[in-house]
């Protein structure tokens, strides 16, 4: 299989896009180190992967805690082997107009969405560099490319994580390590559903909101987490061996190709 013998660390693996990436990697032969702070849900996802014939182990860790991240990476390398792939998916969403946002909203959003990416990338890069191989993908957001009403913190944190990933891609290229970004738009996940006001939430996202200066989705559908996972797996694969510092937008055209 495509990723047979590879070790993949996936954060945010307890649900949504992270779980979809973990399942897809395992289905293609990788041994998945599933990382999340939600240990109960994480264990369920790992068990489901193993029940389907895949290889997965759960490692509970808070990505905002540097010591916890370093310990988890050490444990993964000790128990599973050298990490070949890192996929940063863990994220949080705090919405609201700027005048209503609290200091703690800023701190928590950047702690998970940006600082967590830094901690994981640093810990894994320190191990990949001597081996002269590896691939990193950070799951960003199309909100990091275009302004969104009520989403200033989320958009800014995702933009920061995307640019950080591209910069380390430049630094690590000499060691044969590729670093790329996948930026989803509206995707059917618990985070997305938390924004919906009623059962018509998906259609509202497809239609757009002129009053909020938000274009709809030209392809007329909400993404499935597997759509995002497919883009992640392409960037990890040898088919993308000459692609680094790139950002693939998976949003059905919602940002009009910008």
What residues are labeled active site? Answer: 154
Closest by CA position to 181, among listed 252, 224, 93, 245: 245
Quick check: 29 and 3 in contact, CB under 8 A? yes
What is the Cα–Cα distance from 236 to 244, expressed in whole angstroms? Answer: 10
Residue 111 CB partners (closer than 8 Å, separation 6+): 64
DSSP SS3 for 191:
helix
DSSP string, 130-185: HHT-EEEEEE--GGGTS--TT-HHHHHHHHHHHHHHHHHHHHHGGGTEEEEEEEE-
For residue 18, the cross-strand partners are none
Closest by CA position to 113, among listed 145, 146, 139: 139
Closest by CA position to 222, among listed 17, 12, 11, 21: 17
Give, rounded to a whole angstrom, the gap between the first and last alpha carbons of the chain.
35
């Amino acid at each position: 299989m495509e990723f047979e013998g590879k070790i993949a660390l996936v954060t945010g693996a307890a649900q949504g896009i992270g779980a979809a990436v973990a399942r897809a990697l395992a289905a293609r032969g990788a041994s998945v180190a599933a990382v999340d702070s939600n240990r109960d849900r994480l264990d369920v996802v790992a068990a489901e992967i193993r029940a389907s014939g895949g290889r997965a182990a759960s490692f509970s860790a808070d990505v905002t805690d540097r010591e916890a991240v370093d310990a988890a990476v050490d444990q993964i390398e000790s128990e599973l082997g050298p990490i070949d792939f890192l996929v940063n998916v863990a994220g949080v969403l705090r919405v609201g107009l700027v005048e209503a946002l609290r200091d703690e909203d800023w701190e928590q959003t950047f702690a998970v969405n940006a600082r967590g990416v830094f901690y994981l990338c640093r810990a894994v890069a320190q191990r990949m560099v001597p081996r002269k191989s590896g691939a990193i993908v950070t799951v960003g957001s199309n909100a990091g490319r275009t302004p969104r009403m009520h989403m200033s913190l989320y958009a800014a944190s995702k933009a920061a994580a995307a640019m950080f990933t591209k910069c380390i891609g430049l630094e690590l290229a000499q060691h044969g390590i590729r670093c790329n970004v996948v930026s989803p738009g509206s995707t059917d996940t618990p985070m997305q559903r938390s924004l919906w006001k009623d059962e018509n939430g998906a259609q509202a996202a497809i239609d757009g909101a002129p009053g909020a200066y938000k274009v709809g989705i030209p392809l007329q559908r909400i993404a499935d987490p597997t759509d995002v996972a497919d883009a992640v797996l392409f960037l990890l694969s040898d088919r993308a061996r000459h692609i680094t510092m790139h950002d693939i937008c998976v949003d059905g055209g919602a940002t009009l190709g910008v």
